[in-house]
Amino acid sequence: MELRVSIQSVHQQTAEKLRAAILAGVFRPGDRLIEADLCGRLGISRPSLREALRSLEAEGLIVIVPNRGPQVPVLTWAQAEEIYRVRALLEGEAAALCARCATEADRQSMRSALQAFERAVQTGDPASRLSATADFYRAMLRGSGNALIEELLQRLVARINFLRAQSMSRAGRAKFSAKEMRAIYLAIAKGDSRAARKAAQAHVKNAEEAARDILAGDAAQTNGARSRKLSA
């Protein structure tokens, strides 16, 4: 049986590059992704690009619009609100379970991720903030011992990361996120499941409020640009 690990394919590398660019805001909601332009910038063929785009479409990070091609979707507040409600339920439960079931290795992973997040906040590094946040939640979900919660959240991970990027772009939000994540960690470290659930849900609620302000601002800016275009 062949067990050799193959070199990462071009379409996987392309998907990673485009995913990072979308989450970093290089491509904004509503932006069209022009195939010829992307092929030139990435140095790849159209078949490889299209395969990568299909992967991102499955994650909900892009949509294929008839007669227009791929573009970054405009997330409505109703859609975002649904995601936050599901997050609050699942992450609250995961934090409570983690407080009861986590191993020392799980807690150490959370502590290391939290420290990395706090360093990223101090240095103003958005990419490292998102990476450290993902590591923090990965450790918490592993420590919860509930594979189904982990699977359900994994299906939302791309859209959750997009919303995280939006909420943490609000001035000062990242510092509050650090405090909220530390509250989650401390409750888990103490084995206090009730406090862990409360801290996790409060964190999601505060992130929701920040994202709502950002998305509302983006919508107002887009509408203003459309009005100026029509009146020009």
Give residue 170's pLDDT: 63
Give residue 21's pLDDT: 84
Q: Which domains does the chain have, with CATH numbers?
A: 10-71 (1.10.10.10), 77-219 (1.20.120.530)
Give residue 3's pLDDT: 43
Burial 199-232 (b: 16+ CB within 10 A, else e): bbbebbebbbebbbebbeebeeeeeeeeeeeeee
Beta-bridge partner residues of 32: 71
pLDDT, averaged per 10 consecutive residues of the chain (232 residues), comes to 54 87 79 93 92 88 89 83 92 98 97 97 88 93 95 78 67 87 98 98 92 66 46 45
SS3 17: helix
The letter for the amino acid at 49 is L
Give residue 212's pLDDT: 83
Q: Which of 209, 171, 222, 223 is nearest to 77 (CA)?
A: 209
Tokens 């996790």 locate to 200
* DSSP state, residue 5: P
Residue 89 CB neighbours (<10 A): 14
